[in-house]
Amino acid sequence: MSPTSPAPEAREAHAPLRILIVEDHPVITLALKVALEGMGEDVVGQAIDAAGVHGLDLLGVDLAFVDVNLADGPTGPAIAAHLVERGVSVVFHTSNPEAIPAHFTQAVGVLEKPSTLTGLAQAIQLARLGLARR
């Protein structure tokens, strides 16, 4: 390693997060994808309902942005639980934060729609902190 090369752990800390978007509105999905990729993150999958999530290979997915109300109804919290069980960090991205069950405490956070770039950046930062602690 040359004196100017960053240490391997420094390079790893800045590696793009591999992100899944679980959202049934195509315009919101596209806006999230563009914003996240503009921040240097890697959107690796999209789903509009529970069946779509269950059909995905979740290996290597770091973070999922999950809406509460999806194409198959208010299945976001159940999908989030499924993702957390498989080691994926979750941020709820929803217009209905009150619909998230009070007992669901495993989410990195809740980002209320309409979200901002600042909110997305803060959610990414929290996810990175959580991943670093694993």
List, run by run, the mean pLDDT of 10-residue segments along the chain (134 residues).
Answer: 42 79 98 97 98 95 98 97 96 96 92 95 93 78
The 3-state secondary structure of 25-87, one letter per residue:
CHHHHHHHHHHHHHCCCEEEEEECCHHHHHCCCCCCCCEEEECCCECCECCHHHHHHHHHHCC
Q: Phi first, then psi: what are they for 115, rounded to 5°?
A: -90, 165
Give domain status of residue 7, yes or no: no
pLDDT at 132: 82
Give domain status of residue 4, yes or no: no
CATH of the domain at 40: 3.40.50.2300
Q: How many domains, in total, are found in the chain?
A: 1
Give domain status of residue 26, yes or no: yes
CB 70 within 8 A of CB 24: yes
pLDDT at 131: 84
Among residues 126, 123, 85, 81, the alpha carbon closest in space to that of 104 is found at: 81
Give domain status of residue 57, yes or no: yes
Q: Phi first, then psi: what are they for 53, rounded to 5°?
A: -65, -45
Question: pTM for the whole thing?
Answer: 0.88
> What domain range includes position 52?
15-121
Give domain status of residue 127, yes or no: no
